[in-house]
Amino acid sequence: MRSITARLLIAASVVIVAFFGLTGLALDKAFRDSAYNAVRERLQAQVYMLLGAANMDAQQQLQLPKALPEVRFLVPDSGLYAMVLDHQGDTVWRSDSLLGQPLPALPPAPARGNNYFGLVHTPGRADLLTFGFSIAWELNPNDYRGYTFWVAENESNLQAQVNSFRRSLWFWLLAAGFFLTLAQVLILRWSLQPLR
């Protein structure tokens, strides 16, 4: 009788562990993907905000206002950074949040009208989730100048959210698995009692 109970308990426990393990992995991946997409959309919105604020001065130089709607661009080392590069890769503008910091090594500018989103490693500092968008600014008919707008955010903020979610997810999955296994043991004992 103990052999039957043990076999049933082991078989059911393996199924529970596999189910909760796969569920945990799937939920973790879904949350991480959703969080990265949210950052991408947020950075893209920041680039569009900068594009809307940019204009050409009388000398046909790209200008951005000193005061921007996003306050973190104005605070040094805030974790949100922006810069505009010309078609040669020279810095045209950088946010105040980059004051006193070296410019990160950015990937090659995307083709005009395209964008880039990815992780940029910065030695000695937090890695940056970076969004870049390249445009051709029309100065006169058939006279264009290329620019790439870059916005970056510390990856540590996103990683902290993902880690917090993981801790909570695995705690609750382990708790549910434990109580389900306990309930299973009690049900098996009760169900197999007439066979004794």
Phi, psi of 99 (to 5 degrees): -60, 135
Q: pTM of this prediction?
A: 0.83
How far is residue 84's CA from residue 102's CA, in Å, rounded to a whole number? Answer: 15
Q: What is the pLDDT of residues 131-147, one digit of tens each?
A: 999 999 988 888 889 99
DSSP class of residue 196 equals -
Q: What is the pLDDT of residues 153-168, one digit of tens each?
A: 999 889 999 999 999 9
Length of the chain counted residue by residue: 196
Is pLDDT above 70 for 196?
A: no
Q: What is the pLDDT of residues 17-33, one digit of tens each?
A: 899 999 999 999 999 99
pLDDT of residue 153: 95
Q: What share of the chain is helix, strand, coil (3-state, %, to 5)?
A: 50, 25, 25
Q: Which residues pair with 84 in a beta bridge?
A: 93, 149
Q: What is the pLDDT of residues 46-103, one digit of tens each?
A: 999 999 999 988 888 899 998 888 999 999 989 999 999 999 999 999 999 988 887 7
Domain spanning 54-157, CATH architecture: 2-Layer Sandwich (3.30)
